[in-house]
Amino acid sequence: MTDVTRTARRTAADTEPMVLAFDVVVTAVQHLTANFRRITFGGACLEAFGVAGDTLDLRIKIVIPSAGRPCPDIAGMMAGGAASSWYQRWLGLDAEDRGAMRTYTVRDSRCAGPRPEIDVDFVLHLDGEGRGGPASEWAAAARPGDRVCIIGPNSSAAQCTTAGAYGGIEWSPGLAQHVLLAGDETAVPAISAILEALPADIGGHAFLEVPDGQDIQHIGTRSSVGITWLARGQRPHGELLEAAVRDAVRVPGWVSLSGAGAASGGREPEDVDIDRTILWETPQLLEAAIVQSTVNPGRPSGTQPFYAWIAGEAAVVRGLRRYLVRDVGVDRKQVAFMGYWRKGRAELA
């Protein structure tokens, strides 16, 4: 057992932090398609990884070491003071020592067995010479035995009453039985995991825009949600996705047909400067924010029959946010909008 493993277990047992650092090793690499690569991470420390229930769109941080350097001791940083200060300590390291930190979705988790493992699907954003961001380049060259650090949920803490404090899962349809999932290739792992967890009584649409027809993957679901793959080819990013959403949710929209919305549409949502900030608006955040007094104050989130989950390139997500909220009249507390990345801008850790 590594020192990081012992630290993770001791911390979970003593103080029950919501987040732990896991020193893991690549155990398998699978080429899914030309643009998707599945990397399996393993390690005894992953016995302490997980949430209560399905992982759904669970986000984790992956710390990728610089070439020829070991991973920084994130567990030590977490144990050396307030849990919230580890990130500043990591930022304080020399660039070569700290490596790169990126956010990914857990595609699958098998941490209860004798060989705990999790799968993460990487989208390879590479140019013709095989160059891209640090995560894409690392994933393209990853081999069994490579080591990284994963920052994710403490399964022990997830079983207690404060489990809701871990903000890595946004999927929260409430009472809705008609759902819309829409995203580009960066959202494919999350949408796939959500679809696999949906019960049989849920219907709706799932639209997944990917670079090429060869990126289409099989997704199993018990639900009656229709799954549509959109191969982008040479078209502008998000063009097919926006058209599909507009066709599936037309003005006056599903909420109006159900009697829960206004046929004349809704208010113009606040503008978000996606070049300076992250577009991230979810029902959970709206309920907690001061603006809740002006965002349908009489309707708690999760009480309407329609729920939408939109993720991907921020400009595309912003356009769909405006359409669904302003034109269709979707209750803002019934939709999650998440800008996973911004075209032309490096991802912020």
Per residue in 108-159, pLDDT tens?
999 988 999 999 999 998 777 778 889 999 999 999 999 999 999 999 877 6
Q: Is the pLDDT of residue 199 over 80?
A: yes
Delimit the domains of the chain by residue range: 3-159, 170-341
Q: Rounded to the nearest 10 degrees, what angle do helices 239-248 and 314-322 cross at?
A: 20
Average pLDDT value for residue range 98-102: 94
Please tell me the number of Cα atoms within 13 Å of 128 on its side-chain side. 0
pTM given for the model: 0.87
What integer is the mean pLDDT of 183-192?
A: 98
Order the strands of the 203-210 sheet from edge to edge.
224-231, 203-210, 178-183, 306-313, 335-341, 280-281
**What CATH fold (topology level) applies to the domain 170-341?**
Rossmann fold (3.40.50)
The span from the CA of 110 to the CA of 62, in Å, is 18
Per-residue pLDDT of 286-308, as tens digits, reads 877 655 555 666 677 778 899 99
**Percent over 70 (pLDDT), the chain:** 82
> What CATH number belongs to 3-159?
2.40.30.10
pLDDT digits 0-9 by tens, 312-343? 999 999 999 999 999 998 988 899 999 999 88
